[in-house]
Structure 1
Amino acid sequence: MSTTELTTEGFEKAVTDNDIVFVDFWASWCGPCRSFAPVYEKVSEQHEDVVFGKVDTEAQQALAAAAQIQSIPTLMAFREGVMVFRQAGALGEKDFAGLVDAVKGLDMDEVRAEMAKQQGTAQ
């Protein structure tokens, strides 16, 4: 599957309506973003069952602000509507492919239990 351009209007629906969603926050003037783009595209073509979205931080400034993007590229991964990964900086193809496999392999019951435990101790 190739990448999909995400906007403020469609972001939440993309994250909640799909099992696994990766989001690349980028800008055309950003060198590391331009370097990561072909890696992101290539890995996206190897995983038909995953949504790979891109957010142009210049065109979607409100969405970038809501996501608290401080530097780009920033990569996020969502599984069953839960953010399970967030990192600024570009990844190499091998690392990114490994990350996709890791997110696919997550036990979401375990993730939710850990989140509940953390929220319980934070109160």
Structure 2
Amino acid sequence: MATVEITTDSFGTTIEGNDIVLVDFWASWCQPCLRFAPTYDAASQQHDDVVFGKVDTEAEQQLAAEANITSIPTLMAFREKVLVFSQPGALNGPQLDEVITAVKALDMKEVHEHVARQQAQAQAPAADGDAPITGEII
């Protein structure tokens, strides 16, 4: 499968309509982004069960801001609509394969339970003297 361009309009439907989605936030002036592009494209050809999306941060500045992109390239991985990986910096082929393998191997029942606990804690009113609740990123 080739990579697909993702825009503000298509981001939500892409994430919601697919089991595993990798998103590469990049820009044409970014040399590390340009070096990562062939690696990302090669991986997209090897994993038909994964959607490989690309977001041009210059054209999609609002989307990049909403995703809190502060460094490019940044790679995000979503599985069953949950952000399970986010890391700035270009990966080499073996590193990217490692990320893909790890995302595929996740126990999503456990991930969804973890997310539900975090959401419940975030919505629970804090008692006097309680420290604020902080969550970890999966």
TM-score normalised by length of structure 2: 0.85
**Larger RCO: 1 or 2 (CA < 8 Å, sep 6+):** 1
Match for residue 107 of structure 2? 107
Matches within 5 A, 1:70-109: 70-109=70-109
Q: What CA distance in whole angstroms lies between the structure 1 residues aligned with 2:27 and 2:9? A: 19
Identity %, equivalent residues: 59
Matches of 1:12 and 1:121, distance apart in 2: 25
Aligned counterparts of 1:104 and 1:39: Cα–Cα separation in 2:
19
> 1:19 — aligned with what?
19
Structure of larger gyration radius: 2
Per-residue CA deviation, residues 12-61 of structure 1 (Å, 9 max, x unaligned), is 00000000000000000001101110100001100011100000000111
Task: Give the count of matched residue pairs.
Answer: 123
Note the residue ranges of structure 2 that are not aligned, 5 or more in a row.
125-138
- CA-atom RMSD in angstroms: 1.0
Question: For each residue in 1:99-123, what CA deviation from the matched residue of structure 2 results, as whole angstroms up to 9, or x when unmatched?
Answer: 1111011111101112223344444
Residues 1:36 and 2:36 aligned together: yes
Letter in 1 for 2:43: V
Runs (5+) with no aligned partner, structure 1: none
